[in-house]
Amino acid sequence: MNTLTGKKKLALIIDVIAIAILIFLDQFTKHLAVVHLKDQESKVIIPKVLELTFLKNRGAAFGILQDQKVFFVMIAVMILVVIAYVLFQLPMEKKYMFLQIILVMIASGAAGNMIDRVRNDYVVDFISFVIINFPIFNVADIYVTVSTIVFILLFLLYYKEKDFDFLSFKQQKKYREFK
């Protein structure tokens, strides 16, 4: 089994600290939403464009899968496990820095919303783009959505299939056979 280098350990520590900070920011904004928006009228930020509106979201986007807490928590845990695995396997090369940041952002969003579901049985949403009648969302949703879009663009335009060979079980099998 490979041992972690000092550089890799430092990168993983930075990842954990970044995830903790991003989760804190998400939870803090949700706390502010509860304190200042719950049982209140929407706060207009930009008339007919952006409002802050408190919403208890017991489902996913567009209200699908209502009251499926166990399902959402299980999905979040699986996402976090996969991200942890990939971060441990991620080569310490400059070209993977964007992927590392994206994975940290997605992990932070998944964990932030999972914390809400476990603690409250719902996710606190409060950002509303009224101009396009978009579903109300939160900071964790921004982390996940923006990171996923950037990941897709990077996968289509920057990374090649061979750039993900570090995740291949074939490569690990070859190592064991060689040994």
**Options 15, 26, 116, 141, the catalytic residue:** 141
Active site annotation includes 141: yes
Q: Give 39's contacts (C-beta < 8 A, 6+ positions apart).
A: 54
Reference 141, options 101, 103, 106; nearest CA is 106
Active site annotation includes 125: yes
How many C-beta atoms lie closer than 10 Å to residue 20's C-beta? 12
Distance between CA atoms of 72 and 65, rounded to whole angstroms? 9
Strand partners, 124: 56
**Options 15, 26, 116, 125, the catalytic residue:** 125
Distance between CA atoms of 145 and 134, rounded to whole angstroms? 13
Q: Give 176's contacts (C-beta < 8 A, 6+ positions apart).
A: none
Strand partners, 127: 52, 137
* Per-position pLDDT tens, the chain of length 179: 456 788 999 999 999 999 999 999 999 999 999 999 999 999 999 999 999 999 999 877 656 677 677 888 899 999 999 999 999 999 999 999 999 999 999 999 999 999 999 999 999 999 999 998 888 999 999 999 999 999 999 999 988 888 888 887 655 554 445 44
Which letter does DSSP use for residue 137 in this model? B
Q: Are strands 43-46 and 50-57 parallel, antiparallel or unpaired?
A: antiparallel
